[in-house]
Chain A
Amino acid sequence: MTNPISFELDDAQIERMLAKRAGSEAPIAMVQAVMATVGTTKQQRGGWLPRLQAPSASGNRSFILVAGAALISLSIVAGLIGSRLVRPPTDLVQVPPVATTITTPSPVPTPSPASTPNPTPSAVPSPSPTPVTVVNGPLIVYHIGTKGIELFTLDPVGGKRVTLGNLQNRTGPAGQSIHWSADHRYAIAFGSSDSVVARIDVGGRSVTPLRLPANGSRDSVSPNGDLVARLEDEGSRTYVSVVDLEGTEVHHSAPLPEGVTPVSAIVWSPDASSLLVSSCFPCEVTPPRTHLFQVPVDGSPVQDLVETTSSEYFGSMRWSPDRSTIVYTNGISCDTCSGGVATLRVADRVLTQLTTNGGEEPAWSPDGRRIVFARGFEAPDSGIYVMDADGSNLIRLTTAATGVTDGDRDPIWSPDGASIVFSRGPYDSSMGDLYIVPAAGGEPRLLVKNAVADW
């Protein structure tokens, strides 16, 4: 293996290249051609329809049409779907303080696509809560400081830091992040191109740089922190390759359908048996159809979990603690879209829109009863929000700082569900400053500047 020569790329160079590539002006005949076509093209009447459309539980292509960004629950195409609802935006209300003793639902098995190639809806077993007392551990922090990248644990209450090590300094505009393994023995650090760069042994206080080649795909680390999934191409098909931390492939999925171009990060199931991949397919139609595929790691056939005929987007997906539901964002803030935070109940494929005026990076509370999310930049209602898992009892925890370029984002829960850590900073920088705020509301407190963290 030889190191390729590295060319340093600067923004001015990109601007000059693109300006040259763009040319100067449109051909004169182009406008005439457009108007000639317009003269023979009918406009599509019938008014605007909101875009959330849920496939029926039976897997046929009947859909509900969710009418209206309105403030009421919606009428449903009779007989096709049943009782699927889209909730209106909820009013802000105050919620009582959160206790530090929580109930932890017993996990229900993740649906296995390998064993259910043609799944039928089934009831999700009711969890049987078992009261447990949760003690918050420390945050794992990835901080860019004067000594380069510093990795340490941080007690957000007492402020105690335990240094774990450093990484070679290198620059990158965005993408750095860090994640605990499920047992909190290790953490995985990501670099600026969203590739894993190091494994941190917290107990042993050691940092091991990883040698996985970057492949342009966003890596996704398994819940145990020992495997990495990434998208690869094989001919004209895309598949998921699972490699260990040495880069050796240990699983090779079946290929996604021809023509699928994944559009969101891949997400592991809690039991590490499969991954979720979202893609438009076909992409050439307007609006594109969007699918959510469940890709088993063992090579079993890919399962088409959900199809929508709208520009639905499955971003920032996260499984609920009881493994029954996926929360995600379709929070596109454009004139013809009205997305936000939504959920997919996996057993019967029910999509529920929880917010309709934006909402990104949703995360379940440890007890699965609430969801925290960030609401966009440059918006008057920008900030961190918490709501119940059904979209009710929405409260705004923070007001985004100053100016039009700052925002609050990347909210994460404390293990006891009483606090939330988030990042505050310019939206064109991946690394803001870490703050902590009570989940019940209160004044945010600065923890660390220029850092990202997991808890």
Chain B
Amino acid sequence: MAAAAAAMPVSTQGALVRRAASGDAVAFEQLVTVRADRAFRIARAILGNDPDASDATQEAFVSAWRELPKLRNPDSFDAWLRRILVNACRAQLRGRKRVREISLDVSHDRREPGPAVSDQVGDTDLLAHAFERLDADKRSLLVLHYLDHEPVATIANALGVPVGTAKWRLSEARAALQRALSAEGEARR
């Protein structure tokens, strides 16, 4: 979201945020328009389909509008919006059938490295199915890190957790994806 809004000077963004916070819907529309694509992409990567991503993104923007008067620092609008978006995606996922993360009977830690994914399947299909096995929090972490290329401190901000916690949870999410990938591969053998 920050990257999408980068063309707009911070001072202009701040002014727009202040105007929107005071009830100016036109100003808010400008904020939404330049951020819609990036927000939607994050939501779609987490949720995996257009309808859910669209619902979560809309919900996030409407929540942002409602809560905007409470935002203390207009320059942090993007980080704040990202956090709302991730929460909307989590809520969307929790509304679906509970996602059960795959559990394996052998620790990945003790396995020797195996063949590369590309050697096995040649595309991202297997990995995408593995990603579907992860819960909302792990998906969000991986999307913010690997799609949005956010540093851990920013991810911690978006998830509302301390930096150290975000760091180990990111590690945990990657390890869970690794396990899910192995399980997907097993299932297709």
A residues at B contact (CB < 8 Å): 1, 3-11, 13-27, 30-31, 33-35, 37-39, 41-49, 168, 170-175, 191-195, 197, 209, 211-216, 218, 233, 236, 261, 263-264, 283-284, 286, 288, 311, 313, 315-316, 329-337, 360-361, 374, 376-378, 405, 407, 409-410, 427-428, 430
Contact = CB atoms under 8 A, between A and B. Distances in A.
Contacts of B164: 315-316, 360-361, 374, 409-410
Given A26-B54, A195-B109, A283-B90, A43 B69 contact: yes
Nearest to A197: B109
A174 B120 CA distance: 26
User: 3 tightest A-B contacts by CB?
Assistant: A6-B114, A174-B171, A26-B40
B174 A9 contact: yes
Contact of A174 (B79, B87, B168, B179): B168
Main secondary structure on B side of the interface with A:
helix
A9 B124 CA distance: 11
B32 A34 contact: yes
B76 to A, nearest CB: 4
B71 A336 contact: yes
Contact of A22 (B71, B110, B147): B147
Contact of B167 (A4, A14, A21, A427): A427
A378 B168 CA distance: 18
Interface of B: 21, 23, 25, 28-29, 32-33, 36-37, 39-42, 44-45, 48, 50, 53-54, 57-58, 61-63, 65-73, 76, 79-80, 83-84, 87, 90-91, 94-95, 98, 100-101, 103-118, 120, 124, 126-128, 131, 135, 137, 142-143, 146-147, 151-153, 156-157, 160-165, 167-168, 170-172, 174-179, 181-183, 185-186, 189
A173 B57 CA distance: 31
Nearest to B154: A378
Given A9-B177, A22-B45, A170-B109, A315 B72 contact: no
- Interface SS of chain A: loop
Nearest to A177: B168
Contacts of B37: 24-26
